[in-house]
Every structure is written in structure tokens, then in C-alpha cells.
Amino acid sequence: MSIQRFTVIGAGQMGSGIAQVAAQSGFEVRLHDVKEELIRKGLAGIEKNLNRQVSKERISEADRDGVLSRIQPAVTLEEAANEADIVVEAVVENMEVKTSLFRRLDGMCPTHAILASNTSSLPITEIAAATQRPEQVIGMHFMNPVPVMKLVEVIRGLATSDAVYKTVEELARAMGKTPVEVNDFPGFVSNRVLMPMINEAIYTVYEGVATPEAVDEVMKLGMNHPMGPLTLADFIGLDTCLYIMETLYEGFGDSKYRPCPLLRKYVKAGWLGKKSGRGFYVYEK
Ligand SMILES: CC(=O)CC(=O)SCCNC(=O)CCNC(=O)[C@H](O)C(C)(C)COP(=O)(O)OP(=O)(O)OC[C@H]1O[C@@H](n2cnc3c(N)ncnc32)[C@H](O)[C@@H]1OP(=O)(O)O
Ligand SMILES: NC(=O)C1=CN([C@@H]2O[C@H](COP(=O)(O)OP(=O)(O)OC[C@H]3O[C@@H](n4cnc5c(N)ncnc54)[C@H](OP(=O)(O)O)[C@@H]3O)[C@@H](O)[C@H]2O)C=CC1
């Protein structure tokens, strides 16, 4: 199946990154969020990224303008969905929000459209079951920051068809990414491995073993990680980290995945990391 019209739902850090890369790869993109103001914010972030590439002489001003002209804001979900060949959902990591959105999308999208989720950890099979087209539902898990990171984890739900898997694999390559096939288990591979490390790093702060700065230095200088785990947690979003740990904990029923109480406390305080201006570190807004 050939993909031309690419819809992204959710204009946060992941949705705006996915929209940018899709438009840079030549697709016609529609970008939707619950509030128009969030779409504007997402578009402003994309423009800022592209301007940085112009100033580094990686792309021309005409390239930038071309990319921006390929991203149309869609204020209503209907407008975002009605002509899509593929929808990539990147809204909050919450099963009820995602299933209710997929149910609505199923009723609005053309029958041939693929419905993909950028979920970090939630079961694709359960999201697919909210629709009448489970064979056309799949996980397309980009990494943050989307314009930089090469991986797309492609997750097969129980009913995902081979044809849909192949289309999404080709789409990831057309976006300059490397797809890796993964089966549908909580956290897939990426977050089953990454998030317990981040959670353990938070425990070391909680238990007074070291400061956030010291924990990050250990992992950067000692293990050559590009970012320490607490800087990375702030970058991902502490709410998202907590939702992922909860999915692992519930999904496997194993106490080794219990979220650190300090992570819960920060999220309850609204300390969500870089996006809210404060997490383990303080950021300029
Ligand atoms: C939670 C999940 O479900 C899954 C996930 O995504 S987990 C998170 C996965 N991501 C990571 O682990 C990221 C780890 N960090 C890194 O790889 C690096 O720190 C980084 C790529 C983010 C920044 O790299 P750096 O060398 O420290 O900084 P910097 O030199 O400023 O940036 C390198 C390049 O990335 C670009 N970049 C950095 N941040 C960016 C952003 N937010 N958006 C777009 N481009 C960005 C820069 O423009 C620069 O581009 P050029 O090389 O073309 O000049
Ligand atoms: N952060 C990361 O590093 C990664 C995240 N992911 C996944 O991507 C998804 C999005 O994460 P991220 O971009 O970080 O989150 P953000 O909080 O940056 O963005 C989520 C956006 O979705 C909006 N939203 C919430 N509910 C709806 C809805 N019903 N319809 C449309 N838009 C809605 C939010 O609006 P509002 O703010 O008003 O709630 C917000 O603008 C999550 O599933 C996450 O697990 C995947 C890979 C990496």
C-alpha cells in the first residue's frame, strides 16, 4: 500500500517530531491536538528545529518553507482523519485515552487507513481491540528526539497483518529510520530495558546514595551514556516514565518493576521534567 497522507495526533514533543520528519521525508502531514494552541506550539517547535538546520547550512530556506507547507494544522479530529492513509497517534500514555481515540478514528478514517500508535509501553493488541480493523493497527515507536534517533520499534499486535507490518517497515525506512520488529509485551524491548535502569537511578537518589548530578556523572563518564539517566528521565517526561513503570508493574505482576516513590511524588507535584520546567533539574521555560 502506498502512503501519501500522514496524520499525527498529539502535537507534544513526540508528535511534533514525527510530523517534522514525515514532512521532511515528503509526506503530506496533518497535525492535530486537543487544543489549537498546542498545535501552534508544536508547529513553532518544528520551525525552530528547521531554522537551526538552516543556520547550520544543512538545508536551505526554500527546503524549510517546503517542509512547513507540507504540515497542515487540523483543528478537528474529523479533519485530521478523513483522508489519512496512516495515522500515528502520540497522545498521553494512557490506555483509556488511547482506546477512546482509536475507536473514534476507526469511525472517521478511510477503510484502507493504518492506525499506528507511538505508545512507549501499552499493549497494541488491546488498543487494536477498540477498533473494527485490528489487523490494520500496529505500534510505530519512535525515539526521542525523533529527528535525531535512528530507531523505530515496530510492534505487531496479535492481529496485525503481514501486509500492514511491511508497509510500516517501509514507511520507517522512507523516513530515514531503521525499523526493528518486536512482539507485543509490556514495554516492548526499549522500555523494558531502559526504564528499570532509570527507575533504579531514581532509587539511588531516593535512598541518599548520591545526588542526581553524581548519578548522571557516573553513567556518563563510566558507561559512556550520552545523557545521565536522570537528565534522560527529565527529557522523556517524568509522567511518561511513571506511566511506563506502571504498565510494566501491572503487565508482569513482578515487584522488580515497582515505580520509585520519589518518581510518584515528583509527578504529583507537577515536576514533569524539561517540559514543565522542573524535574530532577530546573530548566528555563
Ligand atoms: C521513552 C521512550 O518510549 C523511548 C525513548 O525515546 S527513550 C529516549 C531515547 N533517547 C535517548 O536516549 C537520547 C540520549 N541523548 C542523546 O542521544 C544526545 O544527548 C542528544 C542526541 C539528545 C543530544 O546530543 P548532544 O551531542 O548532547 O547535543 P547536541 O550537539 O546539541 O546535539 C546533537 C545533534 O542533535 C540535534 N538535536 C539535539 N536535540 C534535539 C531535539 N530535541 N530535536 C531535534 N534535534 C535535536 C542537534 O541539533 C544536533 O544536530 P547536528 O548534529 O545536526 O548539529
Ligand atoms: N517522551 C518520550 O521520550 C517518548 C514518548 N513516547 C510516547 O509518545 C506519546 C506522547 O508522548 P510525549 O510527546 O512525550 O507527550 P507530551 O506530553 O509532550 O504530548 C502529548 C500531547 O498529546 C495531547 N493529548 C492528550 N490527550 C489527547 C487527545 N485525546 N487527543 C489529542 N491530543 C491529546 C496532550 O495535550 P495536553 O498537554 O493538553 O494533555 C499533549 O499535547 C506517549 O504515548 C509516550 O509514551 C514514545 C517515545 C518516546
Q: Which of the residues 28, 32, 49, 153 is marked catalytic?
A: 153
Q: What cell was used for 207? A: 535512598
155 lines ligand 1 (CB under 6 A): no
51 lines ligand 1 (CB under 6 A): no
CA 24 to chain centre: 18
* Contact present, 122 and 144 (Cβ < 8 Å): no
For a ligand 1 pocket test, name from 119, 148, 197 the mutation site with the most ligand atoms within 8 angstroms of its C-beta.
148
273: exposed, middle or buried (Cβ count in 10 Å: 0-12, 13-18, 19+): buried
- Phi-psi region at 253: left, alpha or beta (left = phi > 0; alpha = psi -120 to 50): left
CA-CA-CA-CA dihedral for 81, 83, 87, 93, to nearest 10: -10
113 lines ligand 1 (CB under 6 A): no
Q: What cell was used for 35? A: 487544543
Tens digit of each residue's pLDDT (9 = 90 or more) over 133-192: 999 999 999 999 999 999 999 999 999 999 999 999 999 999 999 999 999 999 999 999
Quote the CA–CA distance of 35 and 26 in Å, as a whole number.
26
pLDDT score at 157? 96
Q: Which ligand lies nearest to the CA atom of residue 194 in the structure?
A: 1
Q: Where are the beta strands (DSSP E) in 2-100?
A: 5-9, 28-32, 71-73, 86-89
How many other C-beta atoms lie within 10 A of the C-beta of residue 208?
A: 7
The rounded Å distance from CA 143 to ligand 1 centre is 10
Quote the CA–CA distance of 282 and 285 in Å, as a whole number.
9
Annotation marks residue 94 as catalytic: no
Quote the CA–CA distance of 11 and 151 in Å, as a whole number.
20
pLDDT score at 32? 98
The yes-or-no verdict on residue 285 having pLDDT over 80 is no
Tens digit of each residue's pLDDT (9 = 90 or more) over 14-45: 999 999 999 999 999 999 999 999 999 999 99
Name the pTM for this structure: 0.97
Q: Which ligand lies nearest to the CA atom of residue 55 in the structure?
A: 1
Annotation marks residue 191 as catalytic: yes
Tens digit of each residue's pLDDT (9 = 90 or more) over 177-234: 999 999 999 999 999 999 999 999 999 999 999 999 999 999 999 999 999 999 999 9
231 lines ligand 1 (CB under 6 A): no
Annotation marks residue 153 as catalytic: yes
Tens digit of each residue's pLDDT (9 = 90 or more) over 77-87: 999 999 999 99
Q: List residues forming the annotated binding site for NAD(+).
A: 10-15, 33, 93, 98, 120, 144, 275
The rounded Å distance from CA 250 to ligand 1 centre is 31
The yes-or-no verdict on residue 238 having pLDDT over 90 is yes
The rounded Å distance from CA 145 to ligand 1 centre is 5
